[in-house]
Amino acid sequence: MKKPTRKRREWNARHASSLFRRELNHKLYLKEKNRAGNHPRPDAPRIGNINYSESIDFPRIMTLADNFCGVMQALHQLRRYSNRQRNEKAYINFKQIEEISPGAALVVAAELDRLNNIAHRRDGKLRVLDAEQWNDNVRERLEGMGFFDLLHVQMGKTKPSDGSGTRYVRFRSSKQVDGKAIEDLRTLDLEPFFPDNVPNRHRLYAAVTEAMTNVVHHAYQHNGQNVMPHWWLSASHNVQKGEIRILLYDQGIGIPKTLPKKFNDYITNFFKFKDPMDADLIYAAHKLDRSSSKKGHRGHGLQRDVRQYVKSVDCMSTYRVTSLHGQYTWEKGSDGCPKESRRNYRRALPGTLIEWRLTLQ
């Protein structure tokens, strides 16, 4: 065998040392990982006699309009925890929340509902430890939305005390299209507070049931583990401001991913989106009249029914779809002129949230 040169011997020595360091680092990493699995992190809270593996802290401002990324960061942490197979306890911290919007509340309620229902978490139900330390308005609004029913805790009757008079409606959920759910929401939860009733009830019914149909047909087409293929429906209303918001959320794959791939070129050519982002794809889904089913008689619901409701009413109205990183808004102001806008976020919403908002006064 040929004797290695000095240069080669030096290279071998360096390479061996580097390999040894990498191996050592990997062993240390595995050791650390195992330790983290069995023991709480140093910053993990201890309440009573229970050590929690982590604390999931929801931000002070829990509104999608003002702090989308902050809400999503906490939500993704909660999702990572709920998907983990290890049997460990997490502390979900709501104490810091000072303001919460109905959209953010519904998204979090849906995630807690999923956490309560997925197979490997069924034995470890959620418990409330410190609701008395939560902000009063936040607690009352969450209670109105049905949070404490999810947590199997009775907290007394909801009384909005912040002076704004905003009430949150108990959420409903199902994995099928349920027309009675939107009728009950309208007749039992909204119309008793509005003497002139919710306008154009037939179109509202069409919008919401068609959005539910889209969830059932498209949102959960690639079912993975731990998926709860449901929609969650809720609303909020403010009688003083004459404002009604109806919200439908699903945790599916998102509208941008349900658009048929063969239309990507069409979208690029027709809309002149060189590199379409999620908001552009949501916008395109409303314009194209196409469905991932690739059948001509399908794929019309978003345009003809879901968005059509806010177009059909004679008041200020907003229709907003947030799906993955994108958001598409159609709104009609006091001048009656329609406006469309698109926005992309750094973090993704898991699923799709549709909001119909009316200002009746």
Partner 1 sequence: MNTGVTKRIVIATDFSPYPAGRFIDDGEFNGTTFRIDYLAPALREFDRVEVVFDGVAGFGSSFLEEAFGGLIREEGIDLEDLNEKLILSTTEPDLKDDVQLTKKYMKLAAAARK
Provide the binding-site residues for partner 1, judged by CB under 8 A. 176-180, 182-183, 200-206, 209-210, 212-213, 216-217, 296-298, 300-301, 304-305
3-state secondary structure of 167: strand
Q: Which is nearer to partner 1, 198 or 321 (CB)?
A: 198
**Any residues with CB less than 8 A from the CB of 292 and at least 6 apart, and which?**
218, 221, 258, 259, 260, 299
Q: Which is nearer to partner 1, 71 or 181 (CB)?
A: 181
To partner 1, the closest distance from the beta carbon of 251 in angstroms equals 18
What Å distances lie between residue 317 and 91, 171, 234, 329, CA to CA?
39, 22, 17, 11
Q: Which is nearer to partner 1, 6 or 180 (CB)?
A: 180
3-state secondary structure of 317: strand
Q: Residue type at 10?
A: E
Tokens 């990982």 sit on residue: 33
Q: Which is nearer to partner 1, 2 or 180 (CB)?
A: 180
CA-CA distance, 203 to 240, in Å (whole number)? 25
Q: Which is nearer to partner 1, 86 or 202 (CB)?
A: 202
Q: Which is nearer to partner 1, 149 or 289 (CB)?
A: 289
**Any residues with CB less than 8 A from the CB of 161 and at least 6 apart, and which?**
136, 137, 140
Using an 8 Å Cβ cutoff, are 78 and 56 in contact? yes
To partner 1, the closest distance from the beta carbon of 186 in angstroms equals 9
Q: Which is nearer to partner 1, 206 or 267 (CB)?
A: 206
To partner 1, the closest distance from the beta carbon of 224 in angstroms equals 19
Q: Which is nearer to partner 1, 89 or 217 (CB)?
A: 217
CA-CA distance, 228 to 115, in Å (whole number)? 9
What Å distances lie between residue 69 and 165, 186, 277, CA to CA?
27, 32, 17
CA-CA distance, 178 to 104, in Å (whole number)? 23
CA-CA distance, 297 to 194, in Å (whole number)? 38
Q: Which is nearer to partner 1, 152 or 287 (CB)?
A: 287
To partner 1, the closest distance from the beta carbon of 304 in angstroms equals 5
Crossing angle of helices 278-288 and 264-271, rounded to 10°: 90
CA-CA distance, 230 to 54, in Å (whole number)? 28
To partner 1, the closest distance from the beta carbon of 202 in angstroms equals 4
To partner 1, the closest distance from the beta carbon of 181 in angstroms equals 9
To partner 1, the closest distance from the beta carbon of 285 in angstroms equals 15
Neighbours of 2 (CB within 10 A): 5
3-state secondary structure of 186: helix
To partner 1, the closest distance from the beta carbon of 311 in angstroms equals 13
To partner 1, the closest distance from the beta carbon of 309 in angstroms equals 10
Using an 8 Å Cβ cutoff, are 61 and 68 in contact? no
Q: Which is nearer to partner 1, 107 or 248 (CB)?
A: 248
CA-CA distance, 115 to 81, in Å (whole number)? 9
CA-CA distance, 115 to 146, in Å (whole number)? 15
To partner 1, the closest distance from the beta carbon of 211 in angstroms equals 9
